[in-house]
Amino acid sequence: MEYHHISAERLTLGRVREIIGRGLKLALSDDARRRIVRCREYLDRKMEHPERPVYGVTTGFGSLCNISVGRDELTQLQRNLVMSHACGTGERVPSEIVRLILLFKIQSLSYGHSGVQLATVERLIDLFNADILPVVYQQGSLGASGDLAPLAHMSLPLLGLGEVECGGRVRPAAEVLAERGWEPVELQSKEGLALLNGTQFMSAYGVWSLLRAQRLSEWADRIGALSLDAFDGRIEPFCDAVHLVRGHRGQLSTARAFRRLLEGSELIAREKRHVQDPYSFRCIPQVHGASKDTIDYVASVLETEINSATDNPTVFPDDDAVVSAGNFHGQPIALAMDFLAIAVAELGNISERRTYQLISGSRGLPNFLVARPGLNSGFMIPQYTAASIVSQSKGLCMPASVDSIPSSQGQEDHVSMGSNAATKLARVVLNTERVLAIELMNAAQALEFRRPARTSKHLERLVADYRRRVPFVEDDRVMYPLIEASILFLREA
């Protein structure tokens, strides 16, 4: 059994992909254990001689921060916090994202600035390793005091409350804990706040979306290259000289990727009658490239976030300080996730335009890419579907981070809405995957009308693999299973 050891070493996005993709188990490094224990012991000593109230440790929460709580009530204070904040609603968070939430919460608590018990972190690791996933809901977080509602649902099973998904079934957490012989955790001072404060919900959605966006960016190039060749497009707009005089890194790398993908193509090399291609082909380096640069930027922001302590107050044993501040505020990643949603949506936007060009009856291709249009509607309606999805994504690109609704009697008077940015980003990613899958259907279909001429070896292999899942359409047939098969091809290939 292979383990990933939680430590102060930087957790890269590549490593996150490995942990989730390969099903690695988690374990605390010796250093992480020392950090957690040292911080907890410091906080316990601090509690023995409290000189002044400490927010969330000896006081209430939010606008109740000026109400002190007796020493004998501190455990109940933390338990009450978790129970009262579990106010999520809406759709359930997918299991693969819940696993990321657990991973990022464990990482954040491991730095020794949160004051949690070692037993609390170990129980979170137990849940992750046993694939016992708390039931969390998508709606309820303002993304400012951390992701309070969703992280409260994540935390309920620690107390033997709430529900978990285990073995494909949703069950009461108390039953599952009893079967494992696990006693509920008795929270100590500050622990409920450490669990609920933090950006792990929005970070998990952000990282899940980013990893998908990276793959979709690669697919957009492959599919775009196939569409360009099937459309009898020109390769000149992809030459280095054009992109070197502008200098954007993503633009240049896109142009070079297209030249590699199309190397050896009979179609791209043949003489062209037309002088120019439409923008959806000619400007692919500029559009795909800008999305690539955005993806790279957002990756740097999210990687910084998942390697951060984001609860409150922050405990500094070396400085003998417990500071109530605002690391839980999601603004740094809320802005980035809104930006990424736009960048990913644009990959879908230009993809739908290429699909439209392919079915338009231009450049010797038949109307709607069927041999007998009129009797057959062919690929008319998949373009409608793509257009509908693209329109929805445009609506979802309204930035969530520009909104703020004050809460907690005005104490929490500016919020990031990062959780909303994160969940709608995920929808945009899935939408763009569908739009690209529809373009691939059209590009592969169009290529057959260029035979016997062939595209590059790389793209011919791609089409051959694709044809094992999605057939050429001779006459009208039920199309939605082909769209679904095309989506799964992108996801699994």
User: What mean pLDDT is predicted for residues 352-367?
Assistant: 97
Q: What percent of the chain has pLDDT over 70?
A: 95
Secondary structure of 154-189 in the HEC alphabet?
HHHHHHCCCEEEECCEEEEHHHHHHHHCCCCCCCCC
Residue 284's pLDDT is 98
Distance spanning both ends of the chain, measured CA to CA? 26
Q: Is the pLDDT of residue 73 over 80?
A: no
Q: Is the pLDDT of residue 128 over 80?
A: yes
Q: Within 10 Å of residue 290's Cβ, how many Cβ atoms?
A: 18
Residue 62's pLDDT is 55
CATH code of the domain containing 126: 1.10.275.10
Q: Is the pLDDT of residue 117 over 70?
A: yes
Nearest residue to 197 (alpha-carbon basis) of 119, 105, 322: 105
End residue of a domain, out of 166, 181, 198 = 198
Domain shared by 359 and 484, yes or no = yes
Domain shared by 219 and 163, yes or no = no
User: What mean pLDDT is predicted for residues 256-260?
Assistant: 98
Domain shared by 344 and 418, yes or no = yes
Q: Give the tens place of pLDDT for each residue, 300-328.
A: 999 999 999 999 899 999 999 989 899 99
pLDDT-wise least confident of 77-86, 444-453, 463-472: 77-86
Q: Is the pLDDT of residue 64 over 80?
A: no
End residue of a domain, out of 165, 198, 231 = 198
The whole-angstrom separation of Cα 259 and Cα 164 is 49
Domain shared by 166 and 292, yes or no = no
Domain shared by 162 and 50, yes or no = yes
**For residue 137, what are the domain limits?**
3-198
Domain shared by 133 and 228, yes or no = no
Residue 409's pLDDT is 81
- Pairwise pLDDT comparison (59 vs 7), residue with the higher score: 7
Q: Are 359 and 380 in contact (CB under 8 A)?
A: yes
Q: Give the tens place of pLDDT for each residue, 413-423.
A: 899 999 999 99
Residue 48's pLDDT is 75
Sheet order of strands, 133-134 included? 133-134, 163-166, 169-172
Q: Is the pLDDT of residue 65 over 60?
A: no
What confidence tier does 145 reach under pLDDT thresholds 50, 70, 90?
confident
Q: Is the pLDDT of residue 47 over 80?
A: no
Domain shared by 81 and 224, yes or no = no
- Please confirm whether the linkage preceding 237 is cis (ω < 30° from 0): no
Q: Are 287 and 350 in contact (CB under 8 A)?
A: yes
The whole-angstrom separation of Cα 306 and Cα 109 is 11
Q: Is the pLDDT of residue 168 over 90?
A: yes
What confidence tier does 51 reach under pLDDT thresholds 50, 70, 90?
low
Nearest residue to 351 (alpha-carbon basis) of 228, 212, 479, 188: 228
Domain shared by 143 and 239, yes or no = no
Catalytic residues: 55
- Please confirm whether the linkage preceding 313 is cis (ω < 30° from 0): yes
Mean model confidence pLDDT for the chain: 94
Crossing angle for the helix pair 74-85 and 148-155, to the nearest 10 degrees: 110
Domain shared by 324 and 435, yes or no = yes
Instruction: Give the chain's domain count.
Output: 2
Strand partners for 89? 139
The whole-angstrom separation of Cα 390 and Cα 388 is 5
Nearest residue to 202 (alpha-carbon basis) of 150, 250, 268, 241: 150
Characterise 177 by phi-psi region: left (phi > 0), alpha (psi -120 to 50), beta (else). Answer: alpha
CATH code of the domain containing 228: 1.20.200.10
Retrieve residue 74's tokens.
């501190």
- HSE toward the beta carbon, residue 388, CA cutoff 13 A: 7
Secondary structure of 81-116 in the HEC alphabet?
HHHHHCCCEEEECCHHHHHHHHHHHHHHHCCCCCCC
End residue of a domain, out of 178, 198, 218 = 198
Residue 372's pLDDT is 87
What confidence tier does 78 reach under pLDDT thresholds 50, 70, 90?
confident
Compute and round to an integer the Cα radius of gyration of the chain: 26
Pairing state between β 314-316 and 321-323: antiparallel
Retrieve residue 471's tokens.
């057939």
User: What mean pLDDT is predicted for residues 22-27?
Assistant: 97
pLDDT-wise least confident of 184-193, 289-298, 356-365: 184-193
Domain shared by 317 and 466, yes or no = yes
Domain shared by 297 and 186, yes or no = no
User: What mean pLDDT is predicted for residues 421-439?
Assistant: 98
Domain shared by 252 and 194, yes or no = no
